[in-house]
Amino acid sequence: MAWWKGWREEESRFVTGALSFDPKPDAQTLYKAMKGLGTDEQAIIDVLTKRSNIQRQQIAKSFKAQFGKDLIESLKSELSGKFERLIVALMYPPFKYDAKELHDAMKGVGTSEGTIIEILASRTKAQIKEIIKAYKEEYNSDLEEDIKSETSGYFEQILVCLLQALYAAGEKIRGTDEIQFITILCTRSATHLLKVFEEYQKLASKSIEDTIKSETHGSLEDAMLAIVKCTRNIHCYFAERLYYALKGAGTHDGTLIRVIVSRNEVDLNLIKAEFKKIAGQSLSSSILDDTSGDYKTALLNLCGSDD
């Protein structure tokens, strides 16, 4: 399946890419913005935050054809910090971007469990298949094997289960209650799970979330809760991710960038509506309060006004 399949239909709704789009002048604008001393950051923002992902791929191709240079490498050498991270993130096709985020979450010292949970719990089975493929192509490595080597116990099993999600009902259920719980969470459809949650509430007189919180802890608890949240309301799940990324001392920029970039052409408007309910203010207001400079300008362009 082509990486853009399934992203196109939403494109016109969220992105103000020019209808008579021509990548050639955009590539020239970017080249001029980075040529010689100093960088014209505003020109880079104007081009890249106002084009769809498919259009950005065409700009990169045209840039290479006209100037013999790789656009991502050129941007990396001219920009720095959070602004660089955001702009470079925009240049990846969706599945390659998810693969890159997973790879970055596992390399180096320590593993960023939050990133792995967010991506695997919120993507569809078809998308996960494409991510596994992109990961293999980019890093010549098996995503499942890498996750197994970086995680352990039930947390490892829930992630592997999300990656595979192909078990026949009833298979792999022998053994502990945790394994049964994990298998059901990872292998049933959302519609089926919502009914399970409803029945569970009747039988146990408490929500599935309350049980997860009292019976598990750490990364396993986070992963299980993420699956339940994504099943109940995926827009609310991402709104919460953004809320906690922006709340309190310091901003968790990795999460902020990833959610805005990966949901920008999918369902960001719906996420913004949920964010407002949780935060009591719009996402753009929170970004205004918590970020600065070119980074802030680029984020606001991508986010759009929602006041």
Inter-CA distances, 208 with 124, 169, 234, Å: 22, 20, 17
Annotated binding site, which residues? 248, 250, 290
| Angle subtended at Cα 255 by Cα 249 and Cα 257, rounded to the nearest 5 degrees | 110
Annotated binding site for Ca(2+), which residues? 248, 250, 290
